[in-house]
Amino acid sequence: MKRTATVSVCFALALALAGCTSSGSSDRSARTPTAKAPVALPALRTAERATEGADSARVRSATVMGSQLSLTADGLLSWGDGLSGTLEIAYTGGTAAETMRGLGVTSMEARYLTDAYYARLGDAFAAKIGGKHWLKYAYDDLKNLGGGAELADQMRSTTPDQSVKLLLHSADVREVGEERVDGRATTHYSGTVATEDVTDASLKERLEDAGVTTETVDIWIDDRDLLVKKVEKAGTANGRVTQTAHYSDYGVPVTVRRPPAADTADFKTLLKPS
């Protein structure tokens, strides 16, 4: 059961990453503060409002977390009234993925609700936890874990507008140029964000709780002021983290059903000594 408990926490980390999160970096050498670009900032503020107001989108992402974990995710997310949505997540490499593969898990369905998220792990894993196919992670419970506060906050702030908001706090934000992404005309913006420069109190607190110092952010905005793509890169204690996400179908209807209670186990039960 101890090994299953360890993997249960890995699932929490994996899902937080899959949800398009920001990562911390201890490398400040790439940051060269300059005056904020007068053209980029108004455009980014407009993009933040437009993306936040779109309420929902299709998300495709790929995350590489050093040698520990790599994964892909595809699905629909809504953020108009709290985070909700469904993602299909596939584990493509890394030591954590190998551990999960040993338990018969190579992919999962994740359902995000406003109070918790649920992971469907398949028949092989279900056989190890009393036949239950779903694991429940309540955000409040995650806060009680070591590092759980970071995961809980990430899960409830994994929306496209967060990447735009983050870049607004860059001291060297700039417009890179016009580029086509996913068949759409976009404008590319780039910058390095230092936590000490962030003036939004809640955002700064979340970054500090996560141990963030600096992070490079690249985003691509289309002619409707909506985020089309983002790339975030950072160095962490667990290795280099890179996440690329693509967004489309803004405003798509998103319906999420809570899994049946009879087929759901709480991840806390896996942390108890056997």
Would you state the pLDDT for residue 36? 43
What distance lies between CA 88 and its chain's CA centroid?
Answer: 14
| CA angle, residues 256, 257, 258, in degrees to nearest 5 | 120
Would you state the pLDDT for residue 228? 97
Contact (CB, 8 A) for 174 and 190: yes
Model confidence at 204, pLDDT cuts 50, 70, 90, reads confident
Task: Tell me the C-alpha distance between 205 and 207, whole Å.
Answer: 5
Element (H, E) at 184: strand 184-194
Say yes or no to pLDDT of 11 above 70.
no
| CA angle, residues 130, 134, 135, in degrees to nearest 5 | 90
Contact (CB, 8 A) for 231 and 224: no
Of 79, 51, 93, which Cα lies nearest the Cα of 225? 51
> How are strands ordered across the β-sheet holding 134-138?
174-181, 184-194, 214-222, 227-236, 239-248, 56-65, 69-78, 84-93, 107-112, 116-120, 134-138, 264-266
Q: How many C-beta atoms surround the C-beta of residue 184 within 10 A? A: 16
Share of the chain above pLDDT 70, in %: 74
Contact (CB, 8 A) for 105 and 90: no
Say yes or no to pLDDT of 64 above 90.
no
Task: Please give the mean pLDDT across all residues of the chain.
Answer: 80
Say yes or no to pLDDT of 145 above 80.
no
Task: Tell me the C-alpha distance between 59 and 115, whole Å.
Answer: 21
pLDDT tens-digit profile of 22-39?
Answer: 433 333 333 333 444 445
* Domains present along the chain, CATH in parentheses: 2-270 (2.50.20.20)
Say yes or no to pLDDT of 189 above 90.
yes
Task: Tell me the C-alpha distance between 191 and 72, whole Å.
Answer: 25
Of 124, 87, 92, 126, which Cα lies nearest the Cα of 108? 87
Of 11, 139, 26, which Cα lies nearest the Cα of 84? 139
Of 119, 16, 137, which Cα lies nearest the Cα of 65? 16
Would you state the pLDDT for residue 46? 96
Compute φ and ψ for 49, nearest 5 degrees. -65, -45
Element (H, E) at 167: helix 160-167
Would you state the pLDDT for residue 10? 56
Task: Tell me the C-alpha distance between 244 and 62, whole Å.
Answer: 5
Q: Report CA dihedral (78, 79, 83, 86) to the nearest 10 degrees.
A: 10
Task: Tell me the C-alpha distance between 33 and 172, whole Å.
Answer: 5
Q: What is the CA radius of gyration of the chain?
A: 19
Say yes or no to pLDDT of 263 above 80.
yes
